[in-house]
Chains A and B, each alone.
Chain A
Amino acid sequence: MVLHAEHLTVGYGRTAVVEDMTLTIEKGEIVTLIGANGAGKSTILKTLAAQLAPLSGCVMLDGREKMPPEELAKYLSVMLTGHIHPELMTCYEVAASGRYPYTGRFGILSQHDKDVIAAKMALTAVTELKDTPFDKLSDGQKQRVMLARALCQEPDILIMDEPTSYLDIRHKVGLLTLVRQLVREGLSVVMSLHELELAERVADRIVCIREGHIDRIGTPEEIFSGNYIRELFAMDEGGYEALYGVPELPAVRGTPEVFVIGGGGTGVPVYRMLQRKGIPFAAGVLHENDLDYPAALALASVVIPEHAFQSIRPDTLQRAMDVMVTCREVICCCKKFGEMNARNEQLLMHAKEMHLLTEDSLILSG
């Protein structure tokens, strides 16, 4: 094990933030901390990185409780949240500052140091930024330079606090892909992430922090199934759709005013549009394995479901019909009908006869 925390209580002064946590990080894995704002993720990371003394318990690095600072700097490196503003420093100089534990009295870089810096900068794709002042970089570039800096310490374990905040989606994915690659080469990573969908995709194990303790540790599959995320973040309204890994705003409750015939993912944008406009709606008929189904569950006030892989049965159609006739409008997102959803086509015909059918544009003006 690369890092082991035993009955660790972290906090500031006498105030404990997270209590009695026991956690082991193995070689070559990514462990991600998730939890609500202020749950104590940063405090835990600072304590694991030996920048904050534990209130009780201990952190063992490489099987040892106390590692001298010079050794620690070669074993563990950090990437912290928040911006740094180094004065008149080029990217190369920022990255080179990671060689601190390896250089002599005056910090003069040897040829070996220079080789390592060049290799790490190449790895994080910042070689061409070498002579650019650090202040002039975009946030994405800055994070990559900071990663190069951390790697220049040649650590066994890397601790990152919210490495993806401030980054756009492309850079988020880019950074995490790189981290994944490093881990395959034997690095261990502990990080906190705000973006649950990224945590789900990148982490080997997820540690959930809630109300001052570790609530659960598990694989993404274990953590992200069911309603656990809603519980963890104490979300009373809205939802976190496990299949999509995306949060939805709370549904508009009430008698449906609009009926949406969906299926195959065509309904989701319409559901969200109706939710934004505050119009309660019904969604149907949807198979339980349909792409639209989870979003409909989260956003519609009434959902008419059908079992997976089962053609829509007559009584299901009847239930849908009953709801539809009470609505003032019907939107059909479905352009194709087949054997399984043939009865949705009947539903559409019925709506046409009753002059309930609207194009999307009519909804917008209404």
Chain B
Amino acid sequence: MKRKLRYTGGFILLSICLILFSLLGILCGSSTVSWQQLTDILLHRSTDESAAAILLQIRLPRVLAAILLGGALSVSGLLLQCFFNNPIAGPFVLGISSGAKLSVALVMVAALQQGFVLHSWAMIGASFLGSLLSMGWVLLLSGRVRSMSVLVVGGVMTGYICSAVTELIVAFADDANIVNLHNWSMGTFSGTDWADIRAMSAVLCAALVLSFSLSKPLGAYQLGESYAESVGVDLRKFRAAVILLSSILAAVVTAFAGPVSFVGVAVPHLMKQLFGTAKPIVMIPAVFLGGSVVCLVCDLIARTAFAPTELSISTVTAVFGAPIVIRMLLRRNAHGAAR
């Protein structure tokens, strides 16, 4: 009973935060919109065209992107942590986001040189391809090294290589749009339009529902793969599903927001602390909400802290996420669990 109360409390808290920071995200910015204006615009009573445009075409999609992508990124992290049986795994840490970024940059630059701008779907496709490739690389690496720390170092290094190549491509590509590309490659929720939102929500909803439906085998997997197999989990199908889902979730995030660091590791950790459990059936929705809230807050900070200069989202998420990851690493070391 106590547990149920804690779960309910946790979800209520997250929902309140989500609503609160969504509103803040819509209202705050370089031109502040008042509550009155907001209701007017939403009820189509407003005469202020520019305010309506800012709100509906810029702020609202951006807030929605932060909610969807932040949640997706965190769920992707949670899946990877289950898969590698390690709490410091995540799409950014393992270099999967960077692989997706490289792939998107390549396709984008190639497309720009041919003189057309990529559609949202093509971006997702390119990103998914890249994340699958780097996921494949990580799996290859994890077959070789048993130590998770080594795997993480390998992932981070892979991430650096991919980022370096991306930077090279960006530097040598000659196009006016390159400025945008540069912003994107640093990670940002800005520039999201409704077409993007439609595309990402379609893919993400499907992937999240599928992830949630995996919560039973994910729970069994927490005791290790041998026990999971012994209670009837089809390991081959399960592994394939987890790899594909975590890759697609990370890929969509990268396609639209670029690489966003540490959210995938820090949010699941925080949510496990908040809910006092690691049960996937609770954690998947909780981590999604938590990721949304964290990304909303980080985006708000990125936009407003040094306005009018906008920070990249990764700058903010790293400041809050990296210390959490370091603390987790230290604590694991203290436990002597070099699994």
Listed in ascending order, the chain A residues whose CB lies under 8 Å from chain B are: 49, 51, 69-70, 72-73, 76-78, 80, 84-89, 93-94, 97-98, 100-101, 103, 105-107, 153
Contacts and interface: CB of A to CB of B under 8 A. Distances in A.
Interface in B161-219: 213, 215-216, 219
Interface residues of B, number: 25
Contacts of B227: 78, 80, 84, 97
For the complex of A and B, the 6 pairs showing the least CB-CB separation, nearest first, are A73-B232, A100-B231, A107-B216, A87-B278, A88-B278, A69-B232
Interface string B265-285: 000000010001111010000
A145 to B, nearest CB: 11
B219 A97 contact: yes
B230 A78 contact: yes
Given A69-B232, A87-B222, A94-B223, 17 more contacts: A69-B233, A70-B232, A73-B231, A78-B227, A80-B227, A84-B224, A86-B278, A88-B276, A88-B277, A89-B278, A97-B223, A97-B227, A100-B233, A106-B213, A106-B215, A106-B216, A107-B219
A88 B220 contact: no
A107 B215 contact: yes
A93 B223 CA distance: 11
B334 interface: no
A12 to B, nearest CB: 15
B232 A72 contact: yes
A289 B219 CA distance: 59
A80 B231 CA distance: 13
A87 B226 contact: no
Contacts of A105: 213, 216
Interface in B215-270: 215-216, 219-220, 222-224, 226-227, 229-234
Contacts of A72: 232
B202 to A, nearest CB: 24
Interface of B: 87, 213, 215-216, 219-220, 222-224, 226-227, 229-234, 272, 276-279, 281, 337, 339
Contact of B272 (A73, A78, A87): A87
- Mostly helix, strand, loop or mixed at chain B's interface? loop
B231 A98 contact: yes
A186 B272 CA distance: 41
Contacts of A106: 213, 215-216, 281
Given A70-B232, A73-B232, A100 B87 contact: no
A71 to B, nearest CB: 8
Contacts of B277: 88
B73 to A, nearest CB: 20
23 contacts: A51-B230, A69-B232, A72-B232, A73-B232, A76-B230, A77-B230, A78-B230, A84-B227, A87-B87, A87-B278, A88-B277, A89-B222, A89-B278, A93-B279, A94-B223, A97-B219, A100-B220, A100-B231, A101-B231, A106-B213, A106-B216, A107-B281, A153-B231
A84 B223 contact: yes
A80 B337 contact: no
Contact of A69 (B213, B234, B279): B234
Name the residue among B213, B222, B227, B279 with the largest chain A CB count within 10 angstroms. B227
A105 B216 CA distance: 7
Contacts of B233: 69, 100
Contact of A85 (B213, B231, B234, B337): B337
Contacts of B223: 84, 86, 94, 97
Contacts of A101: 231-232
A305 to B, nearest CB: 52
A107 B232 CA distance: 13
Contacts of B229: 51
Contacts of A84: 223-224, 227
Contacts of A78: 226-227, 230
A100 B223 CA distance: 12
B281 to A, nearest CB: 6
A78 B223 CA distance: 12
Contacts of B232: 69-70, 72-73, 100-101
A285 to B, nearest CB: 56
Nearest to A135: B335
Contacts of B87: 87
Contacts of B337: 85
A295 B233 CA distance: 52
A51 B222 contact: no
A80 B281 CA distance: 26
A220 to B, nearest CB: 28
A51 B229 CA distance: 7
Contacts of A70: 232
Nearest to B279: A93
A157 B69 CA distance: 47
B226 A100 contact: no
A87 B222 CA distance: 7
A100 B276 CA distance: 22
A105 B222 CA distance: 17
Chain A CB within 10 Å, residue with most, of B222, B227, B231, B272: B231
Contacts of B281: 106-107
B284 to A, nearest CB: 11
A62 to B, nearest CB: 16
A105 B213 CA distance: 8
A277 B294 CA distance: 69
Nearest to A69: B232
Nearest to A134: B223
Contacts of A100: 216, 220, 231-233
Contacts of B278: 86-89
Contacts of B215: 106-107
A49 B222 contact: no
A86 B149 CA distance: 19
B219 A49 contact: no
A49 B216 contact: no
B220 A97 contact: yes
A140 B219 CA distance: 24
A63 B232 CA distance: 20
B339 to A, nearest CB: 7
Contacts of A87: 87, 222, 272, 278
Among B87, B226, B277, max chain A CB count under 10 A is at B226
Contacts of A77: 230-231
Contacts of A69: 232-234
